[in-house]
Structure 1
Amino acid sequence: MMPWVYAGLGLLILLLAGDALVKGAVNLSLRVGIPALIVSLTIVAFGTSAPELLISVNAVLDNKPGLALGNVVGSNTANILLVLGVPALISGLHTSQCDTRKTYLFMIGASVIFIGLAFRGTFDMLAGVVLLAMLGYVLADAFRDARNHRRACAAAAFNPDDEEEVEGADPDMPWWQIFVFLVLGLAGLPLGADLLVDNASTIARRYGVSDSVIGLTL
């Protein structure tokens, strides 16, 4: 019973710590003058992916590659099918007003590269370099698009403050509160990941379930 409790506690800590890290990083960036669009493209995206990153790193360090790969596949499947599916059921998502073609191509390209590397039978240093190089290209393209967008807004005498604010942004948040959010997020992520990985593996071994299945689901 206790492994289930500790695994649930680890998952809860991961969620709360990820939210705290995003809030702290977003408000820190806005306080120092980084545009909200760039914050959305980078800090929010990385902050929400930090729990999965910590889980996969801990799993690899504990010699549990199945859990690491299962976590990657499971989290991305949930992001596409669940995170898009539920909002679509509630109110619908209109993509005709967004330039989504490039995003689709990036997603397809990342999936093709992942599958190709998986067929090699191992994710070694070469695979890591390839994946991180593609990430660097995507980020560079995002920054270029963000810069062009800001220039277009300036040329049209558009007020950036009229744009939709980033979730969690609070221009009046004091510096001490930003610091607390950052500390809680950075401290809570590894703690939650360690609790979740260790106890999920214990549950898997107890019921004869492979680590990869636990990673795909939990």
Structure 2
Amino acid sequence: MEEQVIQWLREGRDDAQDIVDLPWNVKKIEEHFYIAEYPKMPFVLNILFSEEFVHLMVPFGLETTALPLEERLKIYHAMLVLNDKINLLKFTLSGINDEIILRVDLDRKTLGKAEFNDALTALLIGINELVRALKVEEDFAQAVFERIVLMLIDRIQRGATRDDLIKFLVVKVGMSKEEAEKFIDEILRSQGISKKKGIDIGYI
């Protein structure tokens, strides 16, 4: 089942209708634990395989322990309401700092591709619903933007050309070519990399 799930995520196309059929970038972190990303998805998917379950977890990026009591109660109330509202998905707290984690636990014995896609869809709906409930749209958009920048920097370090980077933004992120070119040039300047007009350069 572990190999099958990873294969579902890795094999895909950018114009797919179902989330599971998108070409996710999957990295193995340790035994039975993976992280998967796709630029148009506003979350990083953590996948843990246990003996009986496939655990899908999405960190929301908000630790609640240090927040004022009134704010914590507001957040917990929103999570409880959403737990009742969205099937399959659980909004949980994890770790000593009570970080918000969106979670789906799937039975390995009966798991199929359709149910796995339903789980990914629930996570996408859930994170958007929580963002709206907590009124953190601006902060969340900034976090997504920063994640895309990190993806670009990683590609630059691995030798991507300017054309490669533009294609990534157009195809996988959904930018127009003009927006992508401007964005890439800003990133390259921030990295101290210059380019000659009309020439694509490989970056090391």
Structure 1 length-normalised TM: 0.28
Structure number with greater CO (CA < 8 Å, separation at least 6) is: 1
User: Could you say which structure has the higher helix fraction?
Assistant: 1
User: Could you say which structure has the higher strand fraction?
Assistant: 2
Structure 2 length-normalised TM: 0.30
